[in-house]
Amino acid sequence: MIVDLPETTVAKVSRALVTLREEGGAVALGRVLTLVISTVSGAAEEAVQAANDASREHPMRVIVVVHEPGGLEAEPRLDAQIRVGGDAGASEVVLLHVWGPAGADEEGLVTGLLLPDAPVVAWWPGREVPDVVAESPLGRIAQRRITDASAQADPQRAIDHLAATYRPGDSDFAWTRLTLWRAVLAAALDQPPYEAVEAVEVSGAADSPSTELLAAWLRSALDVPVTVVLSDRSTGSSGIHGVRLLRPSGAIELERNVPDVATLSQPDQPTQDVSLPRRSLRDCLAEELRRLDPDDLFGQVLTEGLAGLDRGLAATATGGL
């Protein structure tokens, strides 16, 4: 069911939610959190779809603040839309389309629509993130704050800025996309001959913050020198290309030369093909919502691991190491 509320107020939206709950049987009792999304016109539907898919694992209320064109100079206006039932997955979706000064106070817009006594998660897809996420209007009311450095104009600068302004509770999809890589590498090191790693080399596209976070994680976990080899995306593939772990008996190499499949090579063992797909927006969001406490490992990697990386731009782009 979809209910449109043109030129409305937050109080009217709240009353409409209560009416739907009483008359239509749409209840909020099973909702475990409130997801607040701050985005721009044109990017809202992709975010809503990802939230709807993730809500089947995490029933929630989704509040989407959609900033329409015109900036603060536009005439103030609020149009709302409520989606429940089959149009909202296992969630309730409230879209708030705002123009002009109506969108200046995001905290005030969403406060009256939050689920009582439920955690709040804030997410900024498709738009420039606040300068200090934890001190932004939505960041102040959220237990977890999700950004995506890869979606910013300068991803490397974005991840460096996040490191400089990090607060417990901050998270970024550049880190979430590493889960499968980290699992494969950890499993490879958990096999004989159990030798210490002497050095690490990580390669990837120059606009891939995940490449640098993977290198920073390996540096923190193994306490060895890590070199990052970046290639120009205009002549190479995007994302992470590969990892080489140097040990006395030989190198462990994990390379992704084709989409969704990586090759794992180890001394005295047959080469293996490993499923390593690029994670969807839905997968990343669902994983982030599985924990609402601060991710201490991410904080350590971001604030300590990045600082000691040896970064270099490759002369020619390659598909791996």
Q: Are 264 and 184 in contact (CB under 8 A)?
A: yes
Domain annotation covers residue 157:
no
Positions of the chain with pLDDT under 50? 28, 315-321
Domain match, 188 and 124 both: no
Domain annotation covers residue 154:
no
Domain annotation covers residue 202:
yes
The pLDDT score that the predictor gives to residue 321 is 33
Domain match, 37 and 105 both: yes
Domain of residue 110 covers: 2-147
Query: 3-state class of 106 per DSSP?
Result: helix
Q: How many domains does the chain have?
A: 2
Domain annotation covers residue 41:
yes
| Residue 202 φ then ψ, to 5° | -120, 135
The domain boundary, picked from 123, 147, 171, lies at 147
The pLDDT score that the predictor gives to residue 20 is 84
Give 202-232 as a DSSP string: EEEETT-HHHHHHHHHHHHHH-S-EEEEEE-
The overall longest dimension of the chain from CA atoms, in Å, is 70
Domain annotation covers residue 165:
no
The pLDDT score that the predictor gives to residue 315 is 39
* Adjacent-strand bridge partners of 244: 201, 253
The domain boundary, picked from 125, 147, 169, lies at 147
Domain annotation covers residue 161:
no
Measured at the CA of 152, the angle between CA 150 and CA 157, to 5 degrees, comes to 85
The pLDDT score that the predictor gives to residue 74 is 85
Domain match, 222 and 290 both: yes
Domain annotation covers residue 18:
yes
The pLDDT score that the predictor gives to residue 293 is 94
Residue 122 belongs to a domain with what CATH number? 3.40.50
Q: Are 216 and 208 in contact (CB under 8 A)?
A: no
Query: 3-state class of 280 per DSSP?
Result: coil
Domain match, 194 and 114 both: no
The domain boundary, picked from 147, 168, 197, lies at 147
Domain annotation covers residue 174:
no
If you compute the radius of gyration of the chain from its CA atoms, what whole number of angstroms results?
A: 22
Q: How many other C-beta atoms can be found within 10 angstroms of the C-beta atom of residue 30?
A: 8
- Whole-model pTM: value is 0.90
